Amino acid sequence: MLEIKGLEVKLEEEDKQILKGVDLSIEPGMVHAIMGPNGSGKSTLSYVLSGRDGYEVTGGSATLEGQDLLDMEPEERAALGLFLAFQYPVEIPGVGNMTFLRTAVNAQRKARGEEELSAADFLKEVRAKAKSLKIDADMLKRPVNVGFSGGEKKRNEILQMAMLEPKMCILDETDSGLDVDAMKLVSEGVNALRSEGRSFLVITHYQRLLDHIKPDIVHIMADGRIVKSGGPELALEVENNGYADILAEVA
């Protein structure tokens, strides 16, 4: 599904190398997790994959189902099936959540040469999916993320994911700012989307999210590289011993 080879990235504005050769291969249907200390390059990886400005790729490649992601505009990557759940979802006053969702869904369908969803079909689908994420009609009507609590914003991200039905989902520190109940709700939403054709890359500091979204493979990232990969037990090791032991071991 997602194939990253020797990816090297620096900041556009300053001469600072953030990613120093990342290799990662995610098969369809798999859930990978990336853990790592602050500043290891986890969020940069998610932004570079989704096409945010401000980064320069200096080496390596990233493909989604064989197609070169790095040359594409963010909206082209989205239409291809890439989705990034933001760590800090953006507030957009004056644009209704429903309008935004419908614009996004139809823009992607149009880009893929599919017919736009009718207003009635869209409404039916969004209501059903919102209900399972405990998003009420009021939240759907309100401007995008404006006045939403931390938990509501993250649930709204998952609702967008559910509506857009991407193939490759990247969750950037989705657990940040969530209490236990909200994390459970968000995780249930993500788990409901797990399927054979859909892969996930879960970026997190802490193991606790991975209690709810169980990964197949866990990677440890440090200083712009993946330094260790293993099964779910690797996340427990981090939880018990911190990053220091692992980093010392691979140094």
Partner 1 sequence: MALAKLKSDTTEARLAWVTLPTGAAWANAARADAMARVREMGLPTKRDEYWKYTDPTSLTDAGAGKAALFHSDEAALFDAVDRVRVVFVDGVFDAEASDDLTAEGLEIERLADAMAADIHWAKDVYGVLEARGQKPVERTLAALNTAMATDGVVIRATAKAVKPVNLIYLHRDETSDAVLHNLIKVEAGAEVTLLETGPAAARFSKQLEVDVAEGGTFHHVRAQGRDHERRAVTHCFARIAAESTFKSFTLTFNGVLTRNECVLEIVGDDATAHVAGVCVGDGKDFHHDDTVFVTHDAVNCESRQVFKKVLRNGATGVFQGKILVKEGAQKTDGYQISQSLLLDDDSQFLAKPELEIYADDVACSHGSTSGAIDETALFYLRSRGVSHDDARNLLTLSFLAEALEEIADESLAEELRDRLEGWLARHR
Compare residues 72 and 236 and give the one whose CB is closer to partner 1.
72
Question: Alpha helix (H) ranges present in the chain?
Answer: 42-50, 74-80, 97-111, 119-132, 137-141, 150-164, 180-193, 208-212, 233-250
Compare residues 143 and 232 and give the one whose CB is closer to partner 1.
143
The 8-class DSSP code of residue 198 comes to: B
Give dist(CA 104, CA 218) in Å, integer: 31
Determine the straight-line distance between the first and last CA of the chain, rounded to whole angstroms.
Answer: 30
Query: φ, ψ for residue 125 (rounded to 5)?
Result: -70, -45
Stretch of 24-32, 36-44, 69-77, 229-237 lying at the interface with partner 1 (CB under 8 A): 69-77
Minimum distance of partner 1 from residue 52's CB (angstroms): 5
Minimum distance of partner 1 from residue 74's CB (angstroms): 4
Q: Say if strands 92-96 and 143-144 run parallel, antiparallel, or are unpaired.
A: antiparallel
Would you give the binding string for partner 1 spanning residues 33-52, x where CB under 8 A is met? -----------------xxx
Residues 182-211 that bind partner 1 (CB under 8 A): none
Minimum distance of partner 1 from residue 137's CB (angstroms): 19
Query: Radius of gyration of the chain from Cα atoms?
Result: 18
Residues 77-116 that bind partner 1 (CB under 8 A): 77-79, 83-84, 86, 89-90, 92-95, 100, 103-105, 107-108, 111
Minimum distance of partner 1 from residue 190's CB (angstroms): 17
Minimum distance of partner 1 from residue 8's CB (angstroms): 22
Give dist(CA 163, CA 196) in Å, integer: 18
Q: Judge contact between 156 and 139, C-beta under 8 A.
A: yes
Site residues for partner 1 per CB under 8 A: 50-53, 73-75, 77-79, 83-84, 86, 89-90, 92-95, 100, 103-105, 107-108, 111, 143, 160, 164
